[in-house]
Structure 1
Amino acid sequence: MGYITFSYDDGLKDNYEIAIPLHEKYSIPASLAIIAGRAGSPDFWDKYMTPYQIVDTDMRGHEIVSHGVNHKSKYIDLLPDELKYELKYSKSFLDGLISGNIKAINLPFASYNESVLEETFNTYELVRVGGYKFNDINEKTHLIYSHPLSKNSDLIKVKRLIDKAVEKNKWLVIVFHSISDDPENSNLYTNSDVFLESLLAYSKDLMDKGLLKPILFRDVISTTVQSKIEKTLLPFPKEIETIADEEGYLITFYPSKINTNKLLITFGGLPSTKAPKGFGSDFALNNNYHHIFVAQSANSQYQKLSLEEFRKAVLPLCINMDVYTYGSSLGGYCAIYYSGAINAQAIAAAPKNSAHPTLKHNLKEPVEFLHTNMIDIPKSEKPPIIIYDPYQREENNFINNIILPAYPNSSLVKVPYSGHLVLQVMKDHGILKDFINNVVENNNIIEINYDTDNCYIWNFEYARVLVREHKNEEAIAYLEKSLAISNSKMAERLLEKVKGKTKL
């Protein structure tokens, strides 16, 4: 039997957008070498993979390995401290993104000498270089040779290399850089998507015949081939399924009754418990979206659901999906907080988390805030859509001080005098469904217009602002109007309070 590894250098965005889908079409995993300095800087994200895409690639069963920090110099030309930095920081950065640990490195420019290898093996278990050689799968060495490809590589000759690996029971590592659907306008180290797919299809045919096995570098650590690849692509469930059930949370999946790529993930607010359905569930199912409902244990403020646990449970269901996170109040906070873990479009109404140190006065019983500051967690590439009342001081401060530093380009949808119940106002006036559907279906934010004069919440919230401005007599008229539209204990209490202070 022969063995083959499809290795990609540099972590280019087209590896994620073009190569990975082709690999998954043929059920062949890929190994991607990431330049940490470029993955960690937004300045490079137009061309190189983002942290989310690295996380997603790992969760989908492919392999992430190191390709150094800067990729500017050959390692043989670096000073000892520079070399140690390149080796150790790149591993540390990538270890923070993947579910396991980085065990291999593809040396930049495939350049090395004895001292470089000695230092490299202090950090990594396996080192891939060039050399245009086959590898013996049972050979006791962790120096791996490869066959780099370019736009001038001959497809027939590469297939012959695969045949030779099968014939000689050898391990072939082929190296790509960029994959393009327009290779004529690309550089030397670019191969076409047609070229790649031809090699994947050829390899899959040999795999189906039991002649060739795809492996990753992690499968070869300690010079033994594992019986199976560590991760596999999971089939998309067709029935309602509990995908996570732990002490602090419950996550339930509901498949759509129709073929769709829309997935709506909603979060329960307060009060809420570990229930299989809740906020947004009926809306999602009635609109034929795939749906995931995330529920918390009562009064836990989602502090027992880490980003890693959420991503592990949910991300396999997000593959090839157009994903939205959606919630109100605590659920709105969660929609934004967890969106970066799966690169979702967050739709958040009046977001806040009362366990946050700035809001702990809201809680009757203290809850330790365990979430990482929003500015320090993985960010979605899609800025959140935030619906709120700008006159609600608490939400306004939370948005400005906690959310906007992390997402300065957020779409702010201001609905004045709608209060904390902004979604209820939109629902009561028949505009909530159209608003959410326009975001999900058309990526469009529609204007929010409704009959404020006959809205009891609008009249109540406007009166509250008037009271704050010491315009009590004017506030009384709006409170009475609010109560004439709908009975509200909050309006009754405020009216009694204001009348007690006002001489009529």
Structure 2
Amino acid sequence: MKTLVSHADYRVTLHQAGDRPADTVVVTFGGQPSDLSDAGFGTDYCLKNGWDNIYVAQRYGTQYQGLSVDDFRAAVAPAVTGRDVVCYGPSLGAYAAFYYGGSVDARIIGGAPMFPAWPAFANRAYADLPITHADLTEVPRSSKSPVAIFDPLLPRDLRMVEQMLEPAYPDLRRVEYHGAGHTVLITLQQSKQLAPLLLSLIRDDKAIPIEPLQPGMPIYHLTQGRLLQRSDPDGAIRELETSLRLQPARQPLAILIALLLRQERLDEAQALIDRVEASGDRNLTIIPSARDKIRAAGLRVSDDLR
């Protein structure tokens, strides 16, 4: 392991898979919840496959705004010159792969690219974050056709692709996984399709076909529940309950509670809340916004967020 640069806002670390530099080096970027560290998203996976890894970490909450393209290139270019270089990341890390990848003429792979503080989103949660990054069309562009893996049913994810990425990269290759959600890489992993897809992209620069979501996968039933909320509320409730039964998780729980409240099925909502709180399962924590709706409906919910 070798630290290429360390700064209060970022850290860039090289991990070598073998005794000598590998032909391929994969630069990976931490997602939004990540913080300064020497290793992170993709490090173990790259080394296991015989690729060197350069891990780029951001200070928590900065969304890479403390790292300029010039500083990234100064740190990374000497280590990747003459090699096949790939930039890869999830969500915020995917945005970073696109933002910095052109400066080292990398092949770029992004899983659900997202820049939460993008001014176009007007997200008040990030109103105080100083934006130092230029528009993607104004930073160095890679000569290689990049890949975005995403769920086009998500409006914000689709907007990122169409309004940020494609203006900079008209040759963008879309790998669409309908209903996979924003955590599309996790969904691909659950369906045992992530490893073959990444191997094909990194080794051969080719995207293999993706099999659609299937019944029995939690995300399949979550997606069906979300889509049926207005046209078939009873069907939506059944789908969300199935998703929760297969994999306890906060998102389907919050959607199910909100739907039961909208349908004024208060006894069912209260029974669900009581059952969830009695379970002690941290995966079933009721999020604050859902607690506000529960109390507004006159139902009982504890103050314990576990």
Structure 1 residue 362, shift from structure 2 partner: 6.0
CA gap 1:438/1:479 in 2 versus in 1, 3 angstroms? same
Could you say which residue in structure 2 is the equivalent of 1:369?
131
Verify: 1:419 aligned to 2:181, yes or no. Answer: yes
**Could you list the per-position Cα deviations for residues 85-104 of structure 1 after superposition, in whole angstroms to 9, with x for gaps in the alignment?**
xxxxxxxxxxxxxxxxxxxx
TM-score for the superposition, normalised by structure 1 = 0.51
Counterpart-to-counterpart distance in 2, 1:466 and 1:258: 55
Verify: 1:296 aligned to 2:58, yes or no. Answer: yes
Contact 2:213 2:220 in 1 (8 A): no
Counterpart-to-counterpart distance in 2, 1:387 and 1:258: 33
Verify: 1:388 aligned to 2:162, yes or no. Answer: no
Gaps of 5+ in 1: 1-239
Which amino acid in structure 1 is aligned with residue 226 of structure 2? R
Contact 1:389 1:414 in 2 (8 A): yes
Verify: 1:480 aligned to 2:234, yes or no. Answer: no
Structure 1 residue 360, shift from structure 2 partner: 4.5
**Could you list the per-position Cα deviations for residues 328-385 of structure 1 after superposition, in whole angstroms to 9, with x for gaps in the alignment?**
1100101111111011011001111112112341636621111010011110011210
Structure 1 residue 456, shift from structure 2 partner: 0.7
**How does 1:36-435 map onto structure 2 within 5 Å?**
240-257=1-18, 260-361=22-123, 363=125, 366-435=128-197
Counterpart-to-counterpart distance in 2, 1:470 and 1:326: 38
Counterpart-to-counterpart distance in 2, 1:440 and 1:464: 34
Counterpart-to-counterpart distance in 2, 1:248 and 1:363: 20
Structure 1 residue 466, shift from structure 2 partner: 2.6
**Could you list the per-position Cα deviations for residues 160-198 of structure 1 after superposition, in whole angstroms to 9, with x for gaps in the alignment?**
xxxxxxxxxxxxxxxxxxxxxxxxxxxxxxxxxxxxxxx
Which amino acid in structure 2 is aligned with residue 368 of structure 1? P
Counterpart-to-counterpart distance in 1, 2:142 and 2:186: 27
Counterpart-to-counterpart distance in 2, 1:369 and 1:459: 38
Counterpart-to-counterpart distance in 2, 1:398 and 1:460: 23
Contact 1:347 1:385 in 2 (8 A): yes
Counterpart-to-counterpart distance in 2, 1:379 and 1:465: 37
Contact 2:27 2:54 in 1 (8 A): yes
Gaps of 5+ in 2: 266-306
What RMSD over aligned residues (CA atoms) do the two structures have, in Å? Answer: 1.6
CA gap 1:354/1:320 in 2 versus in 1, 3 angstroms? same
> What SS class does the counterpart of residue 182 from structure 2 fall into?
helix
Counterpart-to-counterpart distance in 2, 1:268 and 1:330: 7
Counterpart-to-counterpart distance in 2, 1:283 and 1:450: 24
Counterpart-to-counterpart distance in 2, 1:340 and 1:493: 39
CA gap 1:417/1:362 in 2 versus in 1, 3 angstroms? farther
Counterpart-to-counterpart distance in 1, 2:80 and 2:136: 22
State the 4+ residue runs in structure 1 displaced beyond 6 angstroms.
none
**Could you list the per-position Cα deviations for residues 17-64 of structure 1 after superposition, in whole angstroms to 9, with x for gaps in the alignment?**
xxxxxxxxxxxxxxxxxxxxxxxxxxxxxxxxxxxxxxxxxxxxxxxx
> What SS class does the counterpart of residue 110 from structure 2 fall into?
strand
Counterpart-to-counterpart distance in 2, 1:446 and 1:308: 34
* Number of aligned residues: 264
Contact 1:391 1:417 in 2 (8 A): yes
Which amino acid in structure 2 is aligned with residue 404 of structure 1? E
Could you say which residue in structure 1 is the equivalent of 2:271?
none
Structure 1 residue 454, shift from structure 2 partner: 1.4
CA gap 1:481/1:362 in 2 versus in 1, 3 angstroms? farther
Structure 1 residue 471, shift from structure 2 partner: 3.4
Structure 1 residue 488, shift from structure 2 partner: 1.3
Which deviates more from structure 2 when the two are superposed, residues 481-490 or residues 341-350?
481-490
Verify: 1:446 aligned to 2:213, yes or no. Answer: no
Could you say which residue in structure 1 is the equivalent of 2:258?
497
Could you say which residue in structure 2 is the equivalent of 1:76?
none
Structure 1 residue 470, shift from structure 2 partner: 4.4
Which amino acid in structure 2 is aligned with residue 342 of structure 1? V
Structure 1 residue 258, shift from structure 2 partner: 5.7
Verify: 1:464 aligned to 2:245, yes or no. Answer: no
Which amino acid in structure 2 is aligned with residue 245 of structure 1? S
Could you say which residue in structure 2 is the equivalent of 1:131?
none
Which amino acid in structure 1 is aligned with residue 41 of structure 2? F
> What SS class does the counterpart of residue 120 from structure 2 fall into?
coil
TM-score for the superposition, normalised by structure 2 = 0.82
Could you say which residue in structure 2 is the equivalent of 1:223?
none
Counterpart-to-counterpart distance in 2, 1:476 and 1:314: 50
**How does 1:21-32 map onto structure 2 within 5 Å?**
none
Structure 1 residue 465, shift from structure 2 partner: 2.6
